[in-house]
Amino acid sequence: MHLTPDKIRAINYETLYAITGDRVRSYKLVMALPDPEKPLDSAAALLSQTTEHPENEIIRTRQAIADTFLSERIETHALFPESPYFPNENGEYFPVIYASGNLELLRERSMTIVGMPKPSMQGRADTLKALSFLISNDAAALVSLDDGIPLLSAEVMIKEGGKVIGVLAGPISKCSSEREAVIRGKIYSSGLLLSVFPPSQKMERWHVMVRNSFIASVSQCVYLPEEKDGGPSWSVFDKVLSEGGRAMLSSSMLDVPSYTWARKHIESGALTCSSDKDLKRLLPRTGRSVAEPDLFS
């Protein structure tokens, strides 16, 4: 696949991030280059002094990363903070986001849905109620593709013609299962796939935690139909709540004696959902505001 200017800048960033392990510093170094959208080989000597890594290591690392970008078979955009599609980030900072599909969904209203891998009948019912609300209000569901409530949400939204933004725990071009590959293909054709992992990144289990931090960072609101105490969904829920976003859980959880965390979160400022009226309080009234490009500039 041809390396467009945005891909070249992303390769430069991923090279420095692979060497330094610091997202903010790596992006600042890229933007300090004479031209961030040209290969950094000519600046390798200076970057070697700045990063204290050998010049040949920088060049070798960049070439290996560039090769993986060239082998990509899925049309992917690298989004940067100045892009009109770049989502607002509240929390951990991710300066480069990879996106495949309908970028316009990043301008529209969305609700993040998280939940447990094996929901009860009530948890499934509350999830379906929220999805029906999103479809009727022409809003997107932002979900991971983990088993349970997230994957159920993606499948239902696709089947019913809803909008889906799938956030991945690895590169867009790499899948961990055939089932996920199928659902990704369906999302790609009508929705949007997002990842903070470049095609050069190896799949690791701990990437789920990075993915969850990214989901929390770009979520304006989050709905939790069901989760057990200590379950992984709480990490996203808590981060959205702590960063000033709106977080809502199903009122059905309050009826389950073993779900003590649900009651504690209500005391901490979380909202409860019993009806569509409550979901209206959660969903943003408008999409993200963006600056329209000036055709005459």
- Full DSSP string of 5-23: HHHHHHHHHHHHHHHH--H
| CA separation for the pair 113, 285 (Å, rounded) | 17
What the block records as the tokens of 14 is: 């991923």
pLDDT for 72 equals 87
CB 148, CB 116: distance < 8 Å: yes
First and final C-alpha spacing in the chain: 30
Q: What are the domain boundaries of the chain?
A: 5-71, 97-282
- Nearest residue to 212 (alpha-carbon basis) of 260, 168, 162, 148: 168
0.85 surpassed by pTM: yes
What is the per-residue pLDDT for 175? 84
Contact 9, 30 (CB under 8 A): yes
Tokens for 209, please give them. 């935690």
Give the CA angle between residues 262, 121, 142 to the nearest 5°. 65
List per-residue pLDDT tens for the chain, 297 residues long. 679 999 999 999 999 999 999 999 999 999 999 999 999 989 999 999 999 999 999 999 999 999 999 998 889 999 999 999 999 999 889 999 999 999 999 999 999 999 999 999 999 999 999 999 999 999 999 999 999 999 999 999 999 999 999 999 999 988 878 888 899 999 999 999 999 999 999 989 999 999 999 999 999 999 999 999 999 999 999 999 999 899 999 999 999 999 999 999 999 899 999 998 999 999 988 776 544 443 332
Which pLDDT score, from 0 to 100, does residue 296 have? 30
Q: How far apart are CA 162 and CA 147, in angstroms?
A: 19
- Helices and strands in the chain, H and E counts: 11, 9
The residue to which tokens 């690895």 are assigned: 170
Closest CA to 215 of 163, 168, 261: 168
Q: What backbone torsions phi and psi does residue 99 show, to the nearest 5 degrees?
A: -135, 135
Per-residue model confidence (pLDDT) at position 114: 98
CATH hierarchy code of domain 97-282: 3.40.50.450
Identify the pLDDT of residue 2: 78
Question: Do 261 and 229 meet the contact criterion of CB atoms below 8 Å apart?
Answer: yes
CA distance 127 to 113: 8
- A 10 A CB-CB count for 41 gives 14
Distance (Å, whole) CA 141 – CA 137: 11
Beta bridge partners of 79: 97
